[in-house]
Structure 1
Amino acid sequence: MVGRASKAEKKIAYDAKLCQLLDEFTQVLVVAADNVGSNQLQNIRHGLRGDSVILMGKNTMMKRSIRIHAEKTGNNEILNLIPLLIGNVGLIFTKGDLKEVREEVAKYKVGAPARVGLIAPVDVVVPPGNTGLDPSQTSFFQVLNIPTKINKGTVEITIPVELIKKGDKVGSSEAALLAKLGIRPFSYGLVVVSVYENGSTFSPDILDLTEDDLVEKFAMGLSMVTSVALAVHYPTIAAAPHMLINGYKNLLAVALETGYSFPLADEVKEYLEDPSKFVAAVAPSVGDVAPAGAEVAAPKEEEPAEESDDDMGLSLFD
């Protein structure tokens, strides 16, 4: 008969598994596992089968294994995982798309009642309406200052009431009332709190960025660099075109004011001396509109025999 493995053997096996995962995967999601039951965790494992592996354990054991493995392999990048191991957390090693894995994990949330002493993760609001409770239960509502009325032999809440605020502890009265009303206000599951990828760590909010967001942020940064470079007169690739244009504008202003001549200034002077050339330059793209200054053929006089205009007593050239 084979006996159960000792604690020492379990630690050795756990260390070997963690080291194997550190060698095999370069992406890790650090997840908070508060109030997550074993059945719920099993469902999440089943949903992530394929490119992802969930590993739970004590933080001290995980930190020790990571340090020893870093010393053995020389891979000091994995040491960046250690500061992330705070609280009741686990690790999801994955080769898949980080955003898709996080979305898959978020699907497995389970509703939970408000137990006494729990810290509320969200605001809890009791909606108005008939509670189905008999009038003898009004004491619960009175203790919590919830306005009610008796309607058809049952207690009815008249207005929505914020019973518990996010971050507050659930009291015994609040827990009892929510239980009587059948309200399960909280939902729990694995929550991604940090991301590790190839030695870098970052917030999971970055996973929500799209290509358009990245382009917008890059353009904003480029605009700021250009503005600073122009302000301090420091040439950069982004600022160089603006510097050249500004320099040309200054030279052009001097040339127009002093009579100094250079090819680009001469062309502008020519335009300013004869504004009709602006029209001449644009006219070919307009269509059949004749350029200004061009000779227009005089219309031929109508033959006396034509009576269509004479009958009207009007002339287009009067």
Structure 2
Amino acid sequence: MAHVASWKKDIVKEIVDDIQQYPVVAIVDMQEIPAPQIQSMRAGMRAHAKIKMTKNNLMLLALDEAAQFKPGVEKLKEHVGGQCAIVTTDLNPFKLFNKLKATSTPAPAKAGQIAPYDIVVPAGPTPFGPGPIIGELQKLGLPAQIMNGKITVKKDTTVVKGGEPISPELAAMLPKLEILPMEVGMNARAVYGDGIVYGLDVLDIPDDYYTSMFATAAHDALALAVELAYPAKETIVPLIAKAYRSASALSVEAAIPTKETIGALFAKADSQMLALASASGFTNDDIAARLNSVAVAAPSAAAEPAAEAEQKADEKSEEQTEEEVAAGLGALFG
């Protein structure tokens, strides 16, 4: 049987102990992150998480052993590969994902890397004075010229399309133009918590996604309950207000006088009188003056009193208690 180095056993045991101690475990991508940035990220995560980088086969062994007391954690094995680390933490999976995402920082592109988006060199002066570098810029397809003692790019120019490889010449030039198109950071590949392995499709959501979703659901449920006239503690006030508005509108339409609707009924009658006078040709000085003042609004004049009555009823219903509204309903039909 092959001898296993003691240091390997110690690393596996340390990872297993960490998995046992912390409720959440993650596999994190560490691809192409410079060592100084890794140290900085470690320091930023130290209060809530432990980051362990080691050989992938040792991580796989540790996950197998940890599965004895945390069933399901072994599913993280399929995400172990390339340059990665194992993170153990007391943060919930979503907070951990956001904290890891916040470690991302702009970085220069390397030759052969795939552009994450269209890389555009903006129009305007560059950091360079007149010199042979203008020829290098022109070779990259940049319309460069000397203006006011600076090499200037005449117009916004796309130097590489998203999804295409970045050439060595362009990779060398972009940092000089202060363009850092890449991002480096600890990106979670998958996170384990409470027996569940969460993928990026679940973790990578806006902070307010669920609160907004629940707020929308609550609003829609209330609207549906009111529409169906379903009585409940949350719906009784809007239901009574709705009934009051409907009763007021019906009272105006049916010309039933009450103290709440008498003003709207007089306004409606007055409007109808003016419309009738206009249609029949009857006039006197008073009617002629009033017809002239409302000529533009005349086509909709008959509909306005009912709308005003409904608005007044709405405002009044907000001011009244449920008992007052109930009394008002009785008055309408008493």
Please tell me the TM-score bracket, short chain as reference. Answer: 0.5 to 0.7
Q: 1:56 aligns with which of 53, 58, 61?
A: 53
| 1:105, distance to aligned residue in structure 2 (A) | 3.3
AA of the residue aligned to 2:189: V
5+ residue gaps, structure 1: 1-5, 227-237, 245-270, 295-318
| 1:98-113 to 2 correspondences below 5 Å | 98-113=93-108
CA distance in 2, matches of 1:78, 1:290: 66
> Are the structure 2 counterparts of residues 278 and 198 from structure 1 closer, same or farther at C-alpha, using a change threshold of 3 Å?
farther
- Counterparts of 1:192 and 1:293, CA distance in 2: 67
2:49·2:89 contact (CA, 8 Å) conserved in 1? yes
State the identity as a percent. 22
Aligned-partner SS, 1:201: strand
Letter of the 2:46 counterpart: R
TM-score when scaled to structure 2?
A: 0.59
Cα contact 2:113–2:166 (8 A) shared by 1:
yes
Q: Which amino acid aligns with 1:156?
A: T
- Structure 1 residues 30 and 115: alpha-carbon distance in aligned structure 2, compared to 1, 3 A threshold: same
Letter in 2 for 1:127: P
Q: Which has the larger radius of gyration?
A: 1
Which is further off, 83-92 or 26-35?
83-92
Q: Which amino acid aligns with 1:185?
A: P
The one of 184, 187, 192 aligned to 1:191: 187
Question: Match for residue 208 of structure 1?
Answer: 207
Contact 1:276 1:293 in 2 (8 A): no
Give the secondary structure class of the aligned counterpart of 1:142: helix
Q: Displacement, 1:54?
A: 1.0
Give CA deviations for 1:252-303 in whole Å, capped at 9, x if unaligned: xxxxxxxxxxxxxxxxxxx9xxx799979x9974999995798xxxxxxxxx
* Aligned-partner Cα distance in 1 for 2:149–2:325: 84
Checking the alignment, whether the CA contact within 8 Å between 2:104 and 2:183 is kept in structure 1 is yes
| Residue 20 (str. 1) matches residue 35 (str. 2) | no
Where structure 2 has 5 or more consecutive residues not aligned to the other structure, the ranges are 231-249, 263-323
- Which structure has more helix as a fraction of its residues? 2
Q: Verify: 1:116 aligned to 2:111, yes or no.
A: yes
Aligned to 1:125: 120
Distance 1:293 1:219 in 2: 34
Instruction: Give me the CA root mean square deviation.
Output: 4.2
Report the counterpart of residue 77 of structure 2 in structure 1. Answer: 82
Tell me the residue number matched to 2:42: 45
Q: Per-residue CA shift, 1:205-248, capped at 9, x if unaligned?
A: 2473544234157669999xx9xxxxxxxxxxx9xx97x9xxxx
Aligned partners of 2:89 and 2:212: how far apart in 1?
Answer: 25
Post-superposition shift, 1:53? 0.9
| Cross-structure match for 1:33 | 30
Relative to the length of structure 1, the TM-score reads 0.61
Task: Read off the aligned partner of 1:14 and give its amino acid letter.
Answer: I
Aligned partner of residue 83 in structure 1, secondary structure: helix
Correspondent of 1:10 among 7, 13, 26:
7
CA shift, 1:165, in A, is: 3.1
Q: Secondary structure at the match of 1:31?
A: strand
SS at match of 2:145: strand
1:134 to 1:222, Cα distance in 2 relative to 1, 3 A: same
Shift of the alpha carbon at 1:82? 1.6
Change (3 A) 1:110 1:170: same
Change (3 A) 1:182 1:210: closer
Change (3 A) 1:109 1:162: same
Q: Distance in 1 between matches of 2:332 and 2:191?
A: 68
Q: Which amino acid aligns with 2:73?
A: I
Whichever residue aligns with residue 154 of structure 2, its letter is T
Are the aligned partners of 1:135 and 1:154 in contact in 2 as well (CA < 8 Å)? no
- 2:219, 2:27 → 1: CA distance? 31
Q: Which residue of 2 aligns with 1:231?
A: none
1:92 maps to 2:92: no
Question: How many pairs are equivalent?
Answer: 243
